[in-house]
Each structure stands twice: as C-alpha cells, then as structure tokens.
Amino acid sequence: MAFGGLDSGNHPQPMAEINTTPLVDVMLVLLVIFIITAPLLTHAIRLDLPVAPAPAAAEKPETITLSIDASGALFWNEQPVAGIEALSERLRQASARQPQPELHLRADRETRYQRIAEVMASAQQAGIAKLGFVTDPRDRDRDAGR
C-alpha cells in the first residue's frame, strides 16, 4: 500500500487508490495459459487396437459354511456332521476340487475355543487354503450392554 505521492507536500495522507495493474497483468497471463493448455487436456490419440479373445473370468469358488453350535456340534452347509473324523474326510474331498472351495467358519459365542482350534487344524491338514470367520455385526450393540 502506498503512503504518499509526488505532490504530498505538507499533507502526508495515505493514498486511497489501489494499483490494479499488476493484478490485471497476472490475470491476463493466467488466462492465456489456460487458453493454451485447455485443448491439450481434451486431445485424444486415435488408435486402432488389435482384437484378441480374452480368457473367461475365473469362476467364483464354491463356499462351504461350517457351523459350530454352543455344544460343539458341527454342521456342513446346515447338515449335521458325525464328528471331527467325518469332517476331516469331507474337508479332504473339498480340498481336492478345482477350484478349491472357500471355508466359512461360523461359531456360536459360547463355543469352546478348543473345538474351534480342532476344526481349524483339521482344515489345515486337509489342505484348505481359504478359511474365513463369519461374524454378526448386529450383536455388537448387545455385547456393549454386557
């Protein structure tokens, strides 16, 4: 901000005018730059790409839901399983399939960890590569009140 002029003389008053020339110069330079670069942003190169048959997308593997209730009973896709030996045999058969199915493990909150560990060990020994745990997010509010 300028605080005087050439003819200020005895009355040193601040100059009330703002010099807008530098502002206009900068704005004009920016306008010219944008005018030049804007067409470059929309410019596309025209190409004739070769056509090649793409392989089909890999099919989604089957999902096996293995449930364990509070007493430790096992359920394979909602069907009861006789015991850990029968489960091991089913897991070996499932791991031999291609693509290998995913195993989703659902356990009651009261299930003993020992039973869950046995099932996980059996799945690992059978060669199951993908094991996931299924939870219910709606129970979170109920657990907060415990």
Q: What would the pLDDT profile of 2-29 be if each residue is shown by its tens digit?
A: 555 555 566 677 777 888 899 999 999 9
Say if 25 falls within a structural domain. no
Q: Count CB-CB contacts under 10 A for residue 68.
A: 20
What is the pLDDT, as a whole number, of residue 24?
93
Say if 75 falls within a structural domain. yes
Stretch (H or E) spanning 76? strand 74-76
The answer to whether the pTM exceeds 0.85 is no
Under the banding of pLDDT at 50, 70 and 90, the label for residue 46 is confident
Largest interatomic CA distance in the chain = 109
Q: Is the pLDDT of residue 146 over 70?
A: no
What is the pLDDT, as a whole number, of residue 15?
72
Say if 100 falls within a structural domain. yes
Say if 112 falls within a structural domain. yes
Instruction: Give how many domains the chain has, as a whole number.
Output: 1
Say if 85 falls within a structural domain. yes
Give dist(CA 51, CA 30) in Å, integer: 44
Here the CATH number for the domain that contains residue 98 is 3.30.420.270
114 three-class SS: helix
DSSP string, 77-88: TTEEE--HHHHH
Domain that holds residue 95: 63-135
Say if 55 falls within a structural domain. no
Say if 122 falls within a structural domain. yes
| Residue that wins the pLDDT comparison between 118 and 17 | 118
